[in-house]
Structure 1
Amino acid sequence: MGKTRAVICGYYGKGNGGDEALLVTLLQMLPESVQPLVLSGNPQETKKRYQVESCDRISAFTVTRAMRASEYFIWGGGSLMQDITSWASPIYYGGLMGLAQQMGLKTIAWAQGIGPLQHQFTRAIAKRALENCTAISVRDRLSAQILHQWQIPCLIAPDPVWALQTKPVKGLWDLPAPRIAVNLREHPSLTPHRLNHLTQALIELQRATQACILLVPFQATKDLKIAEKIAAQLPGSHQIISLEDPRELKGLFRGVEMTIGMRYHSLIMAAAAECRCFALSYDPKVSQLMAEISIPGYELEQLPDNPNEISKAWLEEYVNGEPLSSETIQSIRDRAEIHREVLIEAFLGD
């Protein structure tokens, strides 16, 4: 019996650790009877790294050919349908979903974070694409509420990266302990003034704890320059750690006492490793995660204008903060497996 072919679409091949982690988790959860083809910004690298078929995500010819040879089309996780950065994202992903539906493919919106959708036009694109899907799972309450308002049924479960398998990081345990991981990304909310305050606060935190600071870029184009700028000012032990395998990226946090993170998946990976977390929120999805699992932190727009105040808050979490219990983490992982069940039902439930 031949395998079922499925096109997988997401923000892949762009060097973003969180989106690559979603892809690996999706591939981990796909039934063995499914043969995936991944649309990627770097198809050769995607094919080599994950041992899957891949093609250029912006080549209309190759994407259409892939769809003609497939039976399913999957939005593979993440905040694909949002217009807070630009209109391009909902137009691109909504357009591909609509094309797949017109071509008769069964379509799945998997582990989605819907919104923010600030414009009527982009809301209409998202609604039309989603209401014609065979199956939908979302990763947060606000996304589920949007779909409920549109009268579109869905399943809700924690982000699937909670269930991503991990790999050990070579040389991690040779670095001085204790270790604090830091992930900052380029964003309009992270102004030079705020970055300077965070850097000064980090210097004070390192002096108080004598910790080795691990600067962890999740996407080199948006994180690495910031990591290098901070590293140049740290007085104590530190290292920039760039990892391409998302399983190693998640495994890194097993050797860390505390994580200070901007990126959504840096906090999920750290929390899943029983690591204390402190969030710096630049996006509603980060703020919602803070509320859902009780992560302390700041909205970047309301960051204190005093490095000493910031460092004291970090030190308080480092000394007295409680990571998630192993029981809570296991419960979240178990619920994240609902995303696997959505796939099994969609592919094998016909």
Structure 2
Amino acid sequence: MNTSENSNEKNLNHTSPSGNGQAVVVRRLVLSGYYGFKNSGDEAVLKSILTALAEAGAEAGIRIEPIVLSGDPEWTREQYGVEAVHRMKLAEVRRAIKSSDGLISGGGSLLQDATGLGSIPYYLGVMAIARWCGKPTFVYAQGIGPVNRRMFQPFIARAFKKAAYVSVRDDESAMLLRRYGVPQQRIAVVPDPVMGLPALPEADRPEERAADTTPVVGVSVRFWRSDRADLDRVAAALEALARRHQGGVRLRFLPFHHGSDEDASRYVMERLSCDVELAPAHEDPQLMLREVSRCALLIGMRLHSLIYAANQDVPLLGISYDPKIDQFLSRLGQRAGGTTEELDSELFAEHALEIINNTSKWQQSCGGAISQLRRDARKPAQLIVSNLRQ
């Protein structure tokens, strides 16, 4: 691992007393990502990274003290019991980084310009502040791209070449970085952190619904096309599935983003005549993970709805609106059941019906890949903690 970025300013001398009077080594790490916006997928990424860092630190005899850059610091502090500062107050961000032992950038799809021009300069800017403060930067399971504007590419390459550790969540992201000039040997390909998100402890789990033999099909949708033709096709496919399954199915819509996903779910639900219900948009990602675990099948547009399903060994069927969906499915040896541009409702229903009726076959087919992803999901935390011990 490259530690050339470390300088004399790097503060690696934090200690605090333990319960038995012995000094405990403490490492403070700033986490930069799309956190504090109550998006279940991004909050699951944060929860997964915090959990992995705590476990890796405990194994190494180090206490990790996270400082999260958040859109809502008060909510983040309450939700996770960690220190948090406002991500857009750069004086606070600089103070947090200066008091830390390093910066973690990620995970998630941070470096992309599909949703606007601000994301790439912001996240690279935070990494630059860390370098100016003499702190190592660690790239944690990021998904890179799309980067449609070539002007951003050399800045991404420069930041990643100077990072102490770089990991991305798929081969396509690694390929983009190599194309930008980042050496292949500096890039680790790892799973999305959420593959390592633990389930709720038994004592914290909500009560189960009374036994019901009707299979529950979880559905995660989002707005994408402005004309809503994609959601109309999803509604037709779900209606076909409910009609073709003997005894019917119970469609439970799972909103992964407050507000917008709830509205998208209602849009589809209003076009269905079968049994439908809308789950809460849980702020705690582990509660949404529990929702997914109760499904016989998860049909998802949101990437993290599919990752949640794989995490819980729940059969899944993706609807692709972005290459990241196809990239994740390919790691399971699967293909999308359709896209936002093309979705044959009858073929989709037939595919979904086959999965529901042959759950064990699906799990046997994907089980090995899922187990490997779970094992590998915590490698970035272990390598980062190892770097901080030096």
Q: Is residue 2:242 matched to residue 1:206? A: yes
Task: Confirm or deny: 8 A CA contact 1:83 1:122 kept in the other structure.
Answer: no
Moved more, 90-99 or 291-300: 291-300
The structural deviation recorded for 1:139 is 1.2
CA distance in 1, matches of 2:249, 2:337: 22
1:219 aligned to 246, 251, 257, which one? 257
Alignment of 1:13-92 (within 5 A): 13-30=36-53, 31=57, 32-92=62-122
CA offset digits 1:247-279 (Å, max 9, x no partner): 222222221111110111111111222222111
Equivalent in 227, 239, 252 of residue 291 of structure 2: 252
Deviation at 1:194, TM superposition (A): 2.4
Find the counterpart in structure 1 of residue 385 from structure 2: 344
AA of the residue aligned to 1:166: A
- What is the one-letter code of the residue matched to 2:196? A
C-alpha distance in structure 2 between counterparts of 1:274 and 1:212, whole Å: 19
Q: 1:312-332 deviations in whole A, cap 9, x for unaligned?
A: 333233334643334442222
Match of residue 21 from structure 2: none
Say which of 157, 164, 187 aligns to 2:197.
Answer: 164
Q: Is the contact between residue 182 and residue 213 of structure 1 (CA under 8 Å) also seen in structure 2? A: yes
Q: Decide whether the 8 Å contact of 1:139 with 1:157 is kept in 2.
A: yes
RMSD: 2.0
Normalised by the length of structure 2, the TM-score is 0.83
Output the CA distance in 2 between the equivalents of 1:302 and 1:194.
7
User: How far has the Cα of 1:170 moved from its partner?
Assistant: 2.0
Task: Determine if the alignment matches structure 1 residue 236 to structure 2 residue 274.
Answer: yes
Q: Report the CA distance between 1:66 and its aligned residue.
A: 1.3
Counterpart for residue 186 of structure 1:
223
Alignment of 1:81-120 (within 5 A): 81-120=111-150
Checking the alignment, whether the CA contact within 8 Å between 1:17 and 1:218 is kept in structure 2 is: yes
Residues 87 and 299 of structure 1, relative CA distance in 2, 3 Å threshold: farther
Aligned to 2:3: none
CA radius of gyration, larger in? 2
Structure 1 residues not aligned, in runs of 5+ = none
For residues 338 and 144 of structure 2, the distance between their equivalents in structure 1, rounded to whole angstroms, comes to: 20
Deviation at 1:76, TM superposition (A): 2.6
Question: Residue 346 and residue 173 in structure 1: after superposition, are their counterparts in 2 closer, same or farther (change >3 A)?
Answer: farther
* Alpha-carbon distance change, 236 to 302 in structure 1, aligned in 2, over 3 angstroms: closer
Q: Which moved more, 1:132-141 or 1:46-55?
A: 132-141
Q: In the alignment, is the contact (CA less than 8 A) between 2:230 and 2:340 conserved in 1?
A: no
> Distance between the aligned counterparts of 1:271 and 1:301, measured in 2?
22
Give distance in 2, aligned partners of 1:20 and 1:260. Answer: 21
Aligned-partner residue type, residue 255 of structure 2: P
Superposed CA offset, 1:134-192 (max 9, x none) = 1111111112223334233022211121111012652443374310000011113x742
Is contact 1:186-1:223 (8 Å) kept?
yes
Q: 1:274 corresponds to which residue?
A: 313
SS in 2 for 1:197: helix
Q: 1:309 to 1:171 in 2, by over 3 A?
A: same
Q: Matches of residues 135-174 of structure 1 in structure 2 within 5 Å?
A: 135-149=165-179, 150-152=181-183, 153-167=186-200, 170-174=206-210
Aligned length: 347
SS of match in other structure, 2:177: helix
* Distance across 1 between alignment mates of 2:268 and 2:208: 20
Partner in structure 1 of residue 20 of structure 2: none
Work out the percentage of aligned pairs sharing the same amino acid: 30
Distance (Å, rounded) in 2 between the aligned partners of 1:299 and 1:94: 34
CA contact (8 A) 2:168 2:189 kept: yes
**Structure 1 residues 290, 254: closer, same or farther in 2, change over 3 A?**
same
Counterpart-to-counterpart distance in 2, 1:144 and 1:98: 21
- DSSP-derived class of the 2:209 partner: helix
